[in-house]
Structure 1
Amino acid sequence: MPLDDNKENRFAAELDEYGSDTMSEINIVGRIILNIWRMMRNEVNLMNYTFENVGFHVLHQRFPLFTFRVLSDWFDNKADVYRWKMVDHYVSRVHGNLQLLRKLDLIDRTSEMARLFGIQFLHVLTRGSQYRVESMMLRVAKPMNYIPVTPSIQQRAQMKAPQCVPLIMEPESRFYSNAVLVLDFQSLYPSIVIAYNYCFSTCLGPVENLGKYDAFKFGCTSLRVPPDLLYQIRHDITVSPSGVAFVKPSVRKGVLPRMLEEILKTRIMVKQSMKAYKHDKAISRMLEARQLGLKYIANFTYGYTAANFSGRMPCIELGDSIVHKARETLERAIKLVNDTKKWGAHVVYGDTDSMFVLLKGATKEQSFKIGQEIAEAVTATNPKPVKLKFEKVYLPCVLQTKKRYVGYMYETLDQKDPVFDAKGIETVRRDSCPAVSKILECSIKLLFETRDISQIKQYVQNQCMKLLEGKASIQDFIFAKEYRGSSAYKPGSCVPALEITRRMLAYDRRSEPRVGERVPYVIVYGMPGLPLIQLVRRPAEVLQDPSLRLNATYYITKQILPPLARVFSLIGIDVFSWYHELPRIQKTASTARSELEGRKGTISQYFTTLHCPVCDELTQYGICTKCRSQPQHVAVILNQEIRELERKQDQLVKICKNCTGCFDRQIPCVSLNCPVLFKLSRVSRELSKAPYLRQLLDQF
């Protein structure tokens, strides 16, 4: 039965709302519909999550992508071979989806977590961390005759605001050629809950309220501690640094400490079992999922106690006590390291539960020895199970700002080759284009390995010249930003993902991206003074239109150089001056040119002034006078150039035909995640000047 307009609109709105942040846009009662695309967003970090890109990075296999127009034409074709190609395309994608599930062990791992947390399979995928913590906490609390508080939204809103924040030091930003140790407290917040018996059930409230006969505000509710009871347990009370009193385990063992103790002990047992069953793949996978689930729960527990905005049962007194004690523990560790003269160490950065320790003049062997000594000394000053673990040595490294650093990492003493390890900088971020990440990573590696700024300068200038001359691959300059849904943007928003979507919808009303989908785009040259939002284009448009060129000036000055400057300014290098030293290159292809002018001839697309195709000298006669005196040389060079381009094109077409299974001359694949598509487009564009070169040859 067809839906009336109102019902249809309401149904579409409900579908949108359901699909925007849960597992699937399709809801069938009694069935769990797995949206593998949404699951992959949590499993792998990629620039975009198209089936072809995920398939390549997870399965290491290329999948072709055809437009709906091509697939429809194949299906409508009377020849059976074309109809079979359409069926085969969809069968291969279904098979690929099943391979993804199998490769990442998603079904078994989710089942194991559901069993571990005591929640439904679907809720593991769709519900948040608080739901998992509460499920486990209530299982521990029920035999102890506890029930959870259920505050209203108003009660939660009236609760006091948090007063304590974790210790995050401002790092001593510079390039460190000496060894920097990284030490990390193992499960710091869970360890503090266990060590000091912090829990909802053991908290007596702020010290200033103790001894009063009246009830006082406590978390979202109120609490009353009788003075005579307080007098009886006066010797079994600990006070947190934030001034909140808790009873010791001898009076009452808290629910959270009991739960976390069991979790951490079980995780150690599971890890030991993994070593025993490492040859049995099925059991090993199951145990890996189990230990991962236990790790998540242990780390989520603090968040449950302090979630004052969206929490189910927040308690600021408890949350503040955990954070303040963790802060005090880290501060004591930093003081111990700085005050112990025999190590000659200095803490240059601290972040929540970790610290970076500089050892001037120490070798790699000495660094590992001192790191182990520091870990043991700090662990000895804290109650069990609070433990400082020596993680790794950076040699050398760059500390940029809070939560942004990069270095060559050594995790064991016998490790010969270091591992490039970066946190928070553009090499691991996804809000820029791949070229930025590649250039920055290569420049930092050159700095670490050679310490030669001239080599880095030459490399960066070469990359800039490639882009200015139009020789760089478009694939490396594609941005991919998440689309938040048409209703999530303010009227008149200038957001590239929204702008591209509007153009797609003008062409096809059903082509709107899903909420959270990454929309690819590039920035091209345009008329002077045009706003940036009008220079946004889909990569497919740039491939199809020879007059569109990547905006090299924008990419170099706004994307590539700023991250480089943030790193190299720490050693006094002005990266922007490298760009200003480059010669200015002017190409003809411009979006300002009219369509008629673009059709004038192939030569006008490639040369502003006429250059000799043999020696590249300026000339008004096609081939310069000097080369005309050597006709045989000209014939060999031009024939070689044409033949080389044709050979490249044939090779790339063969690769495409083998991948797509299509043996027509025209390759219908439009996958932007395949580098062959961009290489083929570039070679075809260069080959379009072959008629002009043959015309010159005919003159001889």
Structure 2
Amino acid sequence: MAIKILMNSLFGVLGSPASRLFSPEVANAITRAGQHVIRRTAEAVRRAGHRVLYGDTDSLFVDIGEPDTTRAVARAEELREAISGSVAAEIARTFGCESRLELEFEKVYARFLLPELRGAAQGSKKRYAGLVAGEGGDKLEIVGLEAVRRDASAVARRFQRELLDLVFHDRPVEGFVRSFVTELRAGRFDAELVYKKALRKPLGAYTKTTPPHVKAARKLGGDAGRIVAYVITRAGPEPAGQTTAPPDYDHYVSQQLKPIADAVLRWLGGADFDEMTGARRQLSLF
């Protein structure tokens, strides 16, 4: 761990133009080496007959086709050992040096969701959800999605967590979606409609575009801090606690709940969000 911390610190020094040790060639070589190793690891996994679902800078998500989580743990450890040996041998052949890298097995997901990038076939980076298998039972884990994002409203975070919990446990979702939208429009979640977003520059510097949090901050005048808390109302964005109009529930339904729901519902093969909530009412031609 000490070596790892030292190496990470050294990379920061080598990559900083303000450092006397600044060396972009070496800094780039470090990241390129990491990319090379993770690609070789993915190739070794595929040669072993398994599917790589997703990979980022230092991790791989692998589908080994084992539905039983207890057996999956045992097989994952065997795979870790085999892949580590394969990658070490490849590094020795290519670079003529002994690999000090160790592949670590971290966890087994009983269920896993990797949303796609909009308009793309591949999954988005560091955005996924899964049901982590453990001795004390399965635990919902969410990374990078609205449920753990600070710029999402609390009602969106609640909706995503509850929806994913239902889907991962094979429970019906249509009644939940309809009921949630009905309760939202009835005002039950009014305390959870607040957005929070930071001002990146002075208010007067926003000239080309005026984002919602800037509009709300300008209504606060000199009382606006760096973090602006606001609600979308029928009169537009207004500071939280100082609204003059009722909440714009249509905004929260279409801009917060619908994208979250459709990203999950598309995998279930049934009705989409609009069909569940009755938003699509066009009659058939025949």
Q: If the length of structure 1 is used for normalisation, what is the TM-score? A: 0.35
Query: Hey, what's the Cα distance between the residues in 2 that align with 1:566 and 1:389?
Result: 31
Number of aligned residue pairs: 262
When residues 582 and 571 of structure 1 are mapped into structure 2, their CA distance, relative to the original with a 3 A threshold, is closer
Structure-2 residue corresponding to 1:420: 140
Distance of aligned partners of 1:316 and 1:476 in 2 relative to their CA distance in 1, 3 Å threshold: same
Q: Which has the larger share of helix?
A: 1
Tell which structure's C-alpha radius of gyration is larger: 1
Counterpart Cα distance in 2 of 1:356 and 1:366: 17
Residues 203-255 of structure 1, C-alpha deviations (whole Å, 9 max, x = no match): xxxxxxxxxxxxxxxxxxxxxxxxxxxxxxxxxxxxxxxxxxxxxxxxxxxxx
What is the identity, as a one-letter code, of the residue corresponding to 1:479?
Answer: Y
- CA distance in 2 between partners of 1:427 and 1:389 (Å): 27
User: Does the 8 Å contact 2:215/2:238 carry over to 1?
Assistant: no
Residue 480, structure 1, aligned to residue 200, structure 2:
no
Task: Decide which of 398, 403, 406 is 2:113's aligned counterpart.
Answer: 398
Segments of 5+ residues of structure 1 without an aligned counterpart are 1-186, 188-262, 265-293, 527-534, 584-700
Q: Is the 8 Å Cα contact of residues 152 and 195 (structure 2) preserved in structure 1?
A: yes
Matched, 1:557 2:254: yes
Give the aligned CA root-mean-square deviation in angstroms. Answer: 2.5
Specify which structure has the bigger relative contact order, considering alpha-carbon pairs within 8 angstroms and separated by 6 or more residues.
1
Residues 576/539 of structure 1: CA separation in 2 closer, same or farther (3 Å cut): same
Alignment of 1:477-556 (within 5 A): 477-486=193-202, 489-491=205-207, 493-505=209-221, 509=222, 511-513=223-225, 517-526=226-235, 535-542=236-243, 548-556=245-253
Distance, in Å, in 2 between the alignment partners of 1:372 and 1:323 is: 27
Mapped partners of 1:447, 1:320: distance in 2: 42
* Separation in 2, partners of 1:311, 1:489: 32
Aligned equivalent of 1:468, options 150, 173, 185: 185
Kindly indicate whether residue 27 of structure 2 is the aligned counterpart of residue 319 of structure 1.
Answer: yes
Is there any run of 5+ residues in structure 2 with no aligned partner, and where?
A: 89-97, 116-122, 282-286
Does the Cα contact within 8 Å between 2:197 and 2:213 map onto a contact in 1?
Answer: yes
Following superposition, the deviation at residue 479 of structure 1 comes to 0.7
TM-superposed CA distance for 1:568, in Å, is: 2.2
CA change 1:314–1:369 in 2 (3 A) is same
CA separation of 1:312 and 1:438: change in aligned 2, threshold 3 A: farther
CA distance in 1, matches of 2:168, 2:152: 24
Structure 2 counterpart of 1:388, which letter?
L
Which contiguous aligned blocks of 4+ residues in structure 1 show a shift greater than 4 angstroms? none
Structure 2 CA distance for partners of 1:425 and 1:581, relative to 1, 3 Å: same
Q: CA deviation at 1:317?
A: 2.6
Conserved? CA contact 1:461–1:582, under 8 Å: no
Query: Which residue number in structure 2 is paired with residue 620 of structure 1?
Result: none
* Secondary structure, counterpart of 1:388 in structure 2: coil
**Structure 2 counterpart of 1:317, one-letter code:** E
Look up the equivalent residue of 1:403 and give its one-letter code. Answer: K
| Cα distance, 1:448 vs structure 2 | 0.6
d(CA) in 2 for partners of 1:562 and 1:445?
Answer: 17
Partner letter of residue 71 of structure 2?
Answer: Q
What amino acid does structure 2 have at the position aligned with 1:578? M
SS of the equivalent of 2:148 reads coil
- Take 1:435 and 1:312, find their aligned partners in 2: how far apart are those partners? 49
Q: Aligned residue for 1:6?
A: none
Distance in 1 of aligned mates of 2:128 and 2:73: 20
Residue matched to 2:58: 353
Mapped to 2, the partners of 1:539 and 1:332 lie a distance apart of: 51
- Judge conservation of contact 1:524–1:537 (CA < 8 Å) in 2: yes
For residues 41 and 101 of structure 2, what CA distance do their matches in structure 1 show? 12
**Hey, what does 2:284 align to over in structure 1?**
none
Q: What amino acid sits opposite 1:373 in the alignment?
A: E
Shift of 1:576: 2.3
Cα deviation, residue 465, structure 1: 0.8
Q: 1:320 to 1:483 in 2, by over 3 A?
A: closer
TM-superposed CA distance for 1:577, in Å, is 2.0
Say if 1:538 and 1:372 are closer, same or farther in 2 by CA, change over 3 A: same
Secondary structure of 1:570 counterpart = coil
Partner of 1:387: 102
**TM-score of the aligned structures, taking structure 2 as reference length:** 0.82
